[in-house]
Structure 1
């Protein structure tokens, strides 16, 4: 089953680069060319191994949260995908509605080989529903590990699409935050003072509302009425804010892994562990080859 990363997916591109370095090292005309290739293999193998192990641990060590009770910050969510209201995301391959897609286009050259021509990827948000609440998922910057793969081949054009559909299982590991969340420590007195100061800045309107005896000034009793009205308005606005529905969003963190997938966490962790084994094998192989070249006096 083929799983594809987003367009700059590290684990998708690095193995191909490492294989190219191995071929270069074997075919290099000079010993120093082989040494350079091996040095790069050592660096990429070590970095890839550390990165893959770290990501596997993140997936296994981060507990799944419920949207309704999730803490703000780095969070793991699982649920079902749903489209946002409004203009749907349509597949460029067949025109069907999707949650997310990535389309790679290849063209056949005169020598019969397929050459990559372009890649398109949707960036519209979609919803994740886990039964306790709904969270908007921003796919920008995420590593997308998905199983659904559709291929269309017409003449010299081949298109490969990876996609998420409505009601697909969705796993997200990223930065969770809530829009519209309100601190319980609302400073009612400060807000009343600020509202009264705003009213005082417009004297004609203030007199129109609170100068009950029409003498052109606000006396102490009228000012207390104004204060009471300001407090009522502040409390009404507070109640409206507190009863408004909160909007939950998950997006790319500053430094950590941002992952969206239709696989379960255990399968994802196993995939990163297999990558870590591959990168470790590259590192150890490059280290052994470097030691052998040193032994035979290449450098």
Structure 2
């Protein structure tokens, strides 16, 4: 449930719950019913206020980094979205090329209520490029806000699809890390063991190289020669691994920090979260006021 709130904009979900509680309270028409519903509203509003405030602070307070000089850790990046080389990602419903998509298929029942029949989202990575460089964005686990939303109807079905598309302005906050040559840490002894293990898989070749007296077994001297050759091979592999180009990645933080990807501008995101901060705060105090009123009625 918490993962869904992160992916599908928690403020909208919790606001729906608050409206539902108001309706339940009105249907119950009792003091105890209203007190329970208003208490739940206050709790949900407090949770939603903290959630919106956390997002607002992350968007406002995290400085934007250039990809080429971004520090390892939690960063904010801004640039343009690009597909990775190869076959483009195709959206599920519209069958259009995109960087990311989410979709939902709903069906209307006899009571004119919509029920989700199918939903999902892509997990393919894409590139985020600025004037200094580019990094690979892994959207798994991200809260994604996009202006590209299509909704259409066919009979009793309603189809909704959200997308990020090629060359979208991309704003992202997440965990930045670099993998590749400069970040490779290889233990030489472990590499030697790995090389020897590979050679042992083909005993014929191993003995042909190092069984100098052809007695069918490697003595201590011959085994030392094999280890020296394995050491040289391991050193070559380590040098080759460290020569590999670095790849920068933006991924979901492990410590639960906000992982946000959007094609909305930073100031628009900040205004949206600020609006939700105030909205949930007003609902919270409104619910507290309602609780106080019902308690006062009981005392009269």
TM-score normalised by L of structure 2: 0.80
Provide, for residues 133-186 of structure 1, a one-character-per-residue CA deviation record: whole Å limited to 9, x for no partner.
332222222111100122222333221221111111112211222333545887
Aligned to 1:103: 103
Alpha-carbon distance in 1 for matches of 2:195, 2:41: 69
Provide, for residues 10-38 of structure 1, a one-character-per-residue CA deviation record: whole Å limited to 9, x for no partner.
11200111112123223422110000001
Alpha-carbon distance in 1 for matches of 2:71, 2:147: 29
Alpha-carbon distance in 1 for matches of 2:113, 2:144: 24
Change over 3 Å in CA distance of 1:197–1:293 after alignment to 2: same
C-alpha contact 2:196 2:230 (8 A) present in aligned 1: no
Write out aligned runs for 1:11-30 (5 A): 11-30=11-30
Aligned to 1:74: 74
1:297 aligned counterpart, secondary structure: helix
Change over 3 Å in CA distance of 1:238–1:68 after alignment to 2: farther
C-alpha contact 1:144 1:259 (8 A) present in aligned 2: yes
Write out aligned runs for 1:63-142 (5 A): 63-110=63-110, 113=112, 115-118=114-117, 119-142=119-142
Provide, for residues 213-247 of structure 1, a one-character-per-residue CA deviation record: whole Å limited to 9, x for no partner.
x6989999x99987875564344223211221223
C-alpha contact 1:84 1:126 (8 A) present in aligned 2: yes
Q: Over aligned residue pairs, what C-alpha RMSD do you find?
A: 3.4
Aligned to 1:33: 33
Change over 3 Å in CA distance of 1:46–1:203 after alignment to 2: closer
Change over 3 Å in CA distance of 1:270–1:192 after alignment to 2: closer
Aligned to 1:258: 259
Equivalenced residue count is 291
What are structure 1's unaligned runs of at least 5 residues? Answer: none
- Give yes or no for the alignment of 1:289 onto 2:295: no
Aligned to 1:238: 238
The range that moved more, 88-97 or 43-52, is 88-97
TM-score normalised by L of structure 1: 0.81
Alpha-carbon distance in 2 for matches of 1:195, 1:115: 58
Runs ≥4 in structure 1, deviation > 4 angstroms?
5-8, 181-188, 190-212, 214-220, 222-232
